[in-house]
Amino acid sequence: MDTPVLHPSTAEPASQPSHAAQAKPRRAPRKTAPPAPALHASAPQTAAARKAAHNAASASFAALTSKLNYLDKSDIEQVRKAYRFADEAHLGQLRASGEPYITHPIAVAAQCAEWKLDAQAIMAALMHDAMEDCGISKPDLIEKFGAPVAELVDGLTKLEKLEFTTREENQAESFRKMLLAMARDVRVILIKLADRSHNMRTMGDMPRPKWSRISRETLDIYAPIAHRLGLNQTYRELQELSFRYLLPWRYATLSKAVAKARSRRRDLIQKVERDVQATFEQAGMYINLSGREKTLYSIYRKMDEKHLSFAQVTDMYGFRLVVPTVTDCYTAMGILHQMYKPVPGKFKDHIAIGKLNGYQSLHTTVVGPSGVNVEFQMRTEAMHVVAESGVAAHWLYKANAPGGAEAERLGTQWLQSLLDIQHETRDAAEFWDHVKVDLFPDAVYVFTPKSKIMAMPRGATVVDFAYAVHTDIGDHTVAAKVNDQQVPLRTEVQNGDVIEVITAPTSSPNPAWLGFVRTARARSKIRHHLKTMALDESQALGDKLLTQALRSEGIERVPTEDAAHQALWDKLLRFSGNKTRGELLVDIGLGKRIASIVAKRLVSLLGELGEKPDALLMSKERFTAHESISQGAIVLDGSESATVQYAPCCRPLPGDGIVGYLGRGEGVMVHTNQCAVGKKLLQKDSERFITVEWADELVRAFVAAVVVTVQSGKGVLARVAAAMASAEADIMQVDLGRDSEVGAPTADLRFVVAVRDTAHLDTVLRTLARTPTVLRAQRAVST
C-alpha cells in the first residue's frame, strides 16, 4: 500500500500508487502463480518452484518469530494466526523479484518487532495489504482479530474505491486518511514507515520508470514525517535510498568520491579516535565513542544549497560520545576544546533547547589534525535512544529509557495538532497544504516576555508566534514588539528574539495574514475564524432580512423555534431544503434564498396555526417602503466584513445615495444609486435589491477613486501627494498610467484615497484644483 505523491514540482505525473515501492500495481496486471490447471500440467519443475516459495515464506516467518521473544505466548499465537490469514490472502501473489508476496508483510512486521511494537501492531503489519488488495473487509478483520487491529489495517488502506474528480483529490484524501489514523494511533505511521523502508530497500527489483515517482514521494512525505517524529535512523535511511534511486548517476559519482576520501583519511580518523580515547581515559571519564560519516544525501544537499564542490565539504566525518550524565556532556565538550581548537559559530546546545521532535545533544565542530574539521556530538544514553528511535522509543525501551516518554509526548503533541487542523479544515487538499508546512527540518528558538522558550519553524512570523502561544492571543493580535522594538506583524522571528504580542478585545484575524503566516496551526485557525465569522454575520443578516420581509406581510417578528412552532419550522425547512433554522438564515443572508419568498411561505404556515397578519403593521410597512425595493433596510457603519462588500465599480461613500444587491451566495454588494452596473442589475433582478443606508456614526474611512489631470513636469507627483496629505486624505494606491506618451504635455494620475465621506472628498478635490500644475481633479465613476 502506498500513500500518493503530492509534490507539485515532480516532473513525472503521479501515477496511481503501487504497493509502495514494490510490486502490486493497482491498475496493472500483477504477477501471480499459474492457475490450478496449469499447475497440474507442468511437471515437477513447477511443483519444485511452489515448494521453494513455501520454504522461503516459512523461513521468513521463522526469522520473525525469533524477534518476538519480548511478547508472551498468547500474543505470539495471535501473531501466528495473523500470519496464516495473510499467507492465505496473498496466496499466489509474487513480488517483482519473484519472491512470494507474503515475504514483504513479514519483513514489515520484522521491522516493527525491531521497535518492540505490541502484538496488535505486528498483526496489522502482517495484514496491512489484506483489505486493499485481497478483498478482505473491515468487518472480517474485526470478527477474526478485534477492532483495534482492524482500525490499524484500515488506517493503512488507501481510498481507492471512491470516485474522485481528479487524481490529486484522491491522493490528498488518501493522505489525509492515513495522517488522521496516525494522529489517533501513532502505530499506524510506524507500520507505514516500516512498509516504505522495506520497499525502498528492494526498489532495484521494480521497473526503472517507477523509481523517480516513488523516490520523490518518499523524500517529500515519508522522510519528513520520520524526522518530525524523531525516527532519525529511518529518516536517514529513507533519504539515502531515495537519493540513490531518484538521482542514480549523482549517487554513484558521490559514492565513489566519498570512498576515495575515506581511504585517504582513514589514518587521520583513526588517529583522532585513539587520541580522544586516551585523553578521556586519562581524565578518568567513561565514554562510548563511535565514528559517524555524513550520509551521501546530506553531502549532496549541502553541495547543492551552498554551491560547493566536493572538495569544499570539510565536515564529512564526526564522532558521537555517549556519556553517563548530562553534566558529563558539558565536561566532555570542555575536554575536546582543550584538545582541538573549536570552529567559531559551530557550537549548538540542543540539550538546553531540545529540537521539536525531542532530539537532544551537544554539537561542536573542531579543527582536527591536518586542518580537517571534525564534528563531535555529546549525549546521554537516554538522549541517544530518543535521537535514533523518536516516538518508537516508547515501545523500544519502555522499561529503562526515561527519554522515550518525552519523545512520545512531543510526537503525540504534533499528531494531536493534526486532529485540530482536521477539525477546522474539511477540504482534503487544504488539509494537506496545512500539514506539509509543518514537516520542516529547521527551527528557531524565541522567548516570551516571561522568558519561556518556544520553538518556531524557520520563516515564522510574529503572528505564528501569537497563535503558538494561544488561539485567543492570535485572534486578537493588533501589534507586536520584538526586543522592545515595534515591528510589522509580517516580521520573521529570529533565534533569541524576545517577542511581546499586543492584543485588543475588538480585534479579529485579518484575511491578509494568510499571505505571510508560516505554520499550519496559524493558517488553519485564521481560516476557521474567518469562515465562522462569515457564517455568524450571514445568519444575523438573514435574520434581519427575514424580519423586515415578515413585517411587510404583517408579522411582527420571526417565530421562535419552540414546541408550539416546531412543526411549522419542520415544514418550512422541507420547503427550503435546509437542515436547520440557522442554515436557512445563512442562505438568506448570502442571497441564496429570497427573504420575501420565505416570508410569504412562513405567513401561510402561521395561518394554518391560526396566527393572522396584523393589518395595521402591514399597511404601515408597505406605505413607507420604497416602491422599487422588495426587502427591508440595513444600516452601514463600516464595521461589516464578509457579508457586506462595497462595489469596486462605483466605490460608494457616506453621503452617496446607495442600494444593496443581494448576490447569489455573495452577501450584500453596495452600489451608489447612480452606478451604471447597479442600474443594470436593478432592471434584471429587482427582487434581489434591499434598502441600505448610512449610519450616523461611522467607524472607519472609505475609499474613492480620483483622477487628476496634470501638466507634465518634474515634482508633479510630489506636489499632488502633498496636497492630498494637507487635506487629510490617505493615498492607498497610485496608477501613473502605462499608456502615457513620453514628452506629452499632460498626464492623468489615478489615485485610490481613503476619506471620511463625500464632503471630505469634495475638500480634497478643491485642494487639488488649487494646486499649481493640476488642470482638473474629479472623482472617477463607472459608466
Query: Which residues have a catalytic role annotated?
Result: 132-133
Calculate the alpha carbon distances from 130 to 58, 83, 155, 374, 423 in Å: 19, 11, 12, 49, 30
Please name the residue that has the C-alpha cell 583519511: 265
Residue with cell 585517504: 264
**Dist. CA 699–CA 639, nearest whole Å:** 6
> 295 vs 77, 248, 320, 715, CA distance in Å?
40, 15, 15, 61
Strand partners of residue 755: 702
DSSP, collapsed to helix, strand or coil, labels residue 625 as coil
Sign of CA pseudo-dihedral 740, 741, 742, 747: negative
**Cell (9 digits) for 280:** 578521556
Q: Position of cell 494511533?
A: 185
Q: Measured between alpha carbons, how far is 225 from 191 in angstroms, rounded to an integer? A: 13
Nearest to 576 by CA among 602, 551, 556, 554: 602
Cα separation, 781 vs 701, whole angstroms = 19
Whether the CB-CB separation of 660 and 667 falls below 8 Å is answered with: no
CA distance linking residue 141 with residue 127, whole number of Å: 9
Number of alpha carbons in the 13 Å side-chain half-sphere of residue 113: 22
263 grid coordinates: 581511504
Cα distance between residue 670 and residue 702, in whole Å: 13
Contact assessment for residue 39 and residue 50, using Cβ atoms and an 8 Å cutoff: yes
Dist CA 262 CA 130 (whole Å): 45
Distance, in Å, from the CA atom of 559 to the CA atom of 328, rounded to the nearest integer, reads: 75
Give the 3-state secondary structure of residue 555.
coil
C-beta of residue 693 within 8 angstroms of C-beta of residue 633? yes
Residue identified by cell 533519504 is: 239
Residue 369's CB: how many other CB atoms inside 10 A? 14
Q: Which helix (H) or strand (E) holds 651?
A: none
The stretches of 221-247 forming alpha helices (DSSP H) are 223-228, 232-246
Which set of grid coordinates corresponds to residue 276? 580522544
| Contact by Cβ (8 Å): 196, 231 | no
